Structure 1
Amino acid sequence: MNRTSCLPIHAQSRFAWLAGALALPALALGGSLPEPQVPDGGGLPGPYPNTSVSGVNVLAKGSTVFNSNVEITGFDGQGPIPWSVNRYNRGDIALRISPGDPVAALGNLNQGFIDFADSSPGLAASQAWRPGRSAGICIPTPRQNGPIDWGDGAGPFYPTAAISWSSSGPGYSLVDGSWGNGDLDVNTGSAGNPSSSPEANFSFSTVWLPYEQGWLGGDAAGPTTEGASSWTSPSAHAVGLSAGVVRWTDFPPGSAVYGGQAEVHLPGVDSLENGMIFTTSSDGSSDVNIVGVAPLEDSSGWLVSIREDSQTVAEELADSGQSEFEFVYVPFDAQGLVGGYINGSGGSKIKAAGDFTLSRTGVGTYQMTIPGKTGSDGTLLLQAAEYEAGAWTPVATRAFMSYEYSN
């Protein structure tokens, strides 16, 4: 039977999206892979995850009781490299990749509404690699459309997601094979200014894009007082990519105050014709930041604007201490790409690749179909990509996006 993926998307204005078994020509990199340093009582991880893009759909939900717990029932599709979750509570989900025993690594899920904090090396979900900024890019997307209401007294909310490098979950470092905590939590939040907590429970997807497969991207640190750019660590970027591709601009213009607004300029890339960038905040705060982009009118790059997800004023941007963000560039000619740059006012394709249809069903909502695919066959990356209408100075959109699968 021919299956079709039907995905309602919540967004507004122009946006970029992608799905598919993506690939780029692999880079010929020298050096050996790190050897896992197995602790007492631990086990080996699976193969080093540098050969393929990989995604996972995490099924998470709340309950009628509002506390620090979350229920993760399992995955609705993962691969081609398997995943695991080894620590989780409301708003903080520790993702790991390529566990040594992918089946056993699912054993700590579907345990009910709990705060799971087992850090022992014998946990199969922890016998895996920690997705890290020195080896690739990890971008989450809410996989449940709002408004979401668990009946817990917090009220309905719209989901937002970002990442943190300060995970309490253990695993193996992709840099040196050492065992320990860190790299990577997905932060799940609620837009607006909830009276209870900025953290929230909902299903989400995550995509891993390793640098060694050829992806261009990095983890940009916030600007210095003078507006200088840097990576969050010396190796937190694709090989050969200078921190100068991120250019912080003062905001408001002429203020000599930096933070919340930057431009990304990739050498030789036409931002209107050649491809798309996808971003996420990597500030690590439980109060999630959102990142909007807009292709520059001269096609030399992208404008990037960073805000708190509670911010309703378009021109109120994050300060320098909360401006850390990740980005990855996806060319339109990437092998296996299904996606494109969409005109949100009508749902038409501005630039696209692969077989899909998309229609606008209402204000900020769209229906997309991918022939022959279901929700468990893959993940979506979504990026709001437009200038904010009505702003007194150019800023990227404050829109954020989510999706969910419907049969």
Structure 2
Amino acid sequence: MSEGSVVVLNSYYTLIAATVVLLVGRTLVKRVRVLSNFNIPEPVVGGLIAAVLVLGLHQVNGFSIQIEKGLQDGFMLMFFASIGLSADFKRLKAGGLPLILFTAVVTGFIVAQNVVGISLATLLGLKPLTGLITGSITLVGGHGTAAGWGQIFETDFGIQGAVALGMACATFGLVCGGLIGGPVARRLMKQVKVPTEVVGSGPQVAFEQPQHNRLITADTAIETLALFALSLASAFYLSSFMAEHFSESNFVIPTFVWALASGVVVRNVLTSVFKVTIFDRCVDVFGNVSLSLFLAMALLSLELWMIKDLAVPLIIILSVQALLLVFFAIFIVFRVMGKDYDAAVLAGGFCGFGMGATPTAVANMQAVTDRFGPSHKAFLIVPMVGAFFVDILNATILSAITSLPFWN
């Protein structure tokens, strides 16, 4: 089980550790008022405690943990597939103008994030393109995008250690996005009228109220797992096809995006063409379980000493990026989206994927809606923009920036 000072957890121990992290986080959020008041997600609380403990042991004797990466990736892919399987085209039409507005705001934020990153990197004596690594590559893109683009930066632009730097920045973003979203939503909640709709009433939209009771039978569970399997098989095939036929292209579409897209296609082909009834409650349960376990595993395996050892200029850039995120969420996202309860929830979710990942965005919104009531608009818009459109926008903008001739 151990290799020197590195403890390697197989899939069974990884799952046990993740559930312990979730239980610790849940207990603390329920008992520590400041955590519940600031809407800090349970996986973030438990995961950070575990990461800090590992950091302390690492400082003493070089101790670290390696988890079963395939299990973590599997839960991530299941989560994104669940969003796709919940995306009924009839429901998506309800996005309308708010969906377009939110996408436009996110586009502006990606550009601003990269402008800030490049500008500060230049002022602080780093290679300008390093600013992209401390920009949307890692903060909007996350660990997967960081790994993909990091290799390109090392081979094509001579930025040594770009992959390791990307992992550190993405780790910082994951933690920061989870911590910022709740307080931002709490601040904005003072400016809006909280809905009077009782939690659990009305139509359920995916992931809004994870504690709401859902009845599942063995038959529906098996049918739903088959849908997940079909979506993930399609995602792996499309990802492999892209890698084989477009390997020389900078336009990278991560596997989790294919999982979401495959889920959308599977859902709507089955319901529209074959008139199959999808058991949404079962999809929601599997999606929420996958979300919680993925976040717990991601935070459990954080190597905080990578953040601690970052050069001072990089810490400055990331701190400014965090301030930019808060400014955008409060003064742009909230105002553009209508300055109401839905806009406040959207702002909290925006913090999640603006410096982290879409699962963090959904966890941020869950923490708010579980306490104040559902926000159908937010849970319609954020998963689609955060998990699908944002990756296309990010890849397009990054390709355009890196293709400029004066970087070489």
Same fold (TM over 0.5): no
- Which structure is higher in RCO with an 8 Å CA cutoff and minimum separation 6? 2
State the TM-score, normalized to the length of structure 2: 0.26
Higher share in helix:
2
Higher share in strand:
1
